[in-house]
Amino acid sequence: MSKNLRGNFKWMAVAGASLLGACGVPGDETAANGEGLAQGAQELAARDVSVRLSSDKATFGAGETARVTVTLTNDSRHAVKLLKWYTPAEGLEESLLQVKLNGEDVEFTGPHYKRPAASEKDFLTLAPGESLSRTVDLGEVYDLSRTGSYSLRFEVATEKLHGNSAKAGLLKSNDVTVWIEGRAAAKPATDGPTTIGSVTYSGRCSTTQMATLTDALNAASAMANDSSSYLNGTPSGTPRYTTWFGAFSSSGWTTAKTHFAAIKDAFDTKPITVDCSCKKSYYAYVYPNQPYKIYVCNAFWSAPMTGTDSKGGTLIHEMSHFTVVAGTDDHVYGQSGAKSLAISNPTNALNNADNHEYFAENTPFLQ
């Protein structure tokens, strides 16, 4: 994650950008981003918040940290609340920058999180005229292995940034172009792994934690096997399938079947590592291109072993993120958001990690 470095800049490429969208609440995605929690400050109005992107250098050698600064400013006369997950306040925890090289999207290689529903502590408040600036290391979360001229822009959906207190829209910054010499991808630090059977534990897991994780892995394996067996049955628009993956289609069923066959195989045969070092309030996260290592966080330990948002289900969620498994994303969080997504966009539901988790947990039970 970003080290949140700060500095004085000799060269700046900055320009303001206006917020697109106005007050209002879209459909049923409330569990994902904590609808209503941003109401303490006045709801968002058009042009309340602007964002600019800047860099202190136009060129970065292979041995230099490719840094850019993101500045969010409250341009209104009232306080506004922003969901920290979609700001650089604690580093880039999401793909908040549109990064292109030669017109092609550059891959986001940062962590994919499973989070509980947002609470008040997950928001930050900007007073009228106040700005939030953070400097982030692009190489920590984007693939900068190729040399060339990179085009950068901060871009986030307004309904995510404001916890669903804004209509759908985009907050965009100015474009910044920097020349970056290719470098090896950053990798998270590791320490003192312990291997028991086919599972490796890292991040200083305690004996109790390792025992809990063994049970959680067994629960996840059982869920994956049940889901795979279910999808090996006759394809049809069953309540279980349509609730989590939307209107039935043979191609959609095949996609789900393929995903769960790969998830089952990963739990049954792959060398899994679970890391206990995360202290965030989230459930867990993975780096999609670093299978099969799962980092578990604080919310994981208090979750039930099975059932909704369980330990076993969390491991299903994270396993589905790996590119070599199912390559899922996080379009929405929570059962409410996942059900709504299945109705409105079955394609995205089949690409959403929580939809896979809830299908596997099957709580409440559906045929």
Nearest alpha-carbon partner for 99 in 171, 30, 147, 151: 151
Kindly tell me if the per-residue pLDDT of 47 is higher than 90. no
Q: What whole-number percentage of the chain has pLDDT above 70?
A: 84
- pLDDT for position 39: 43
- pLDDT for position 12: 32
- pLDDT for position 319: 99
- pLDDT for position 41: 40
Q: Is there a contact between 1 and 93 (Cβ–Cβ < 8 Å)?
A: yes
pLDDT in tens, 76-134: 999 999 999 999 998 899 999 999 999 999 999 999 999 998 889 999 999 999 999 99
Domains and CATH numbers, the chain: 30-180 (2.60.40.2970), 194-361 (3.40.390.10)
pLDDT in tens, 4-14: 333 333 333 33
Kindly tell me if the per-residue pLDDT of 285 is higher than 90. yes
**What is d(CA 66, CA 61) in angstroms, rounded to the nearest whole number?**
8
Q: For residue 265, give Cα distances in angstroms to 59, 268, 271, 313, 326.
A: 44, 5, 11, 16, 11
Q: For residue 213, give Cα distances in angstroms to 32, 199, 293, 299.
A: 26, 10, 13, 14
The pLDDT of 183-196, averaged and rounded, is 73
Cis peptide before 292 (omega within 30 of 0): yes
End-to-end CA separation in angstroms for the chain: 41
- pLDDT for position 192: 66
- pLDDT for position 98: 97
Q: What is the dihedral of CA 355, 359, 365, 367, to 10 degrees?
A: 120
- pLDDT for position 211: 95
Kindly tell me if the per-residue pLDDT of 312 is higher than 60. yes
- pLDDT for position 185: 78
The pLDDT of 18-43, averaged and rounded, is 37
Kindly tell me if the per-residue pLDDT of 31 is higher than 80. no
Q: Is 64 a known active-site residue?
A: no
Encoding tokens for residue 292? 């099969």
The pLDDT of 315-332, averaged and rounded, is 97
Kindly tell me if the per-residue pLDDT of 194 is higher than 90. no
Nearest alpha-carbon partner for 217 in 229, 206, 207, 225: 225
- pLDDT for position 42: 38
Catalytic residue among 29, 94, 140, 318: 318
Q: What is the number of residues in the chain?
A: 367
Q: What whole-number percentage of the chain has pLDDT above 90?
A: 77
User: The pTM is what?
Assistant: 0.78
The pLDDT of 24-31, averaged and rounded, is 34
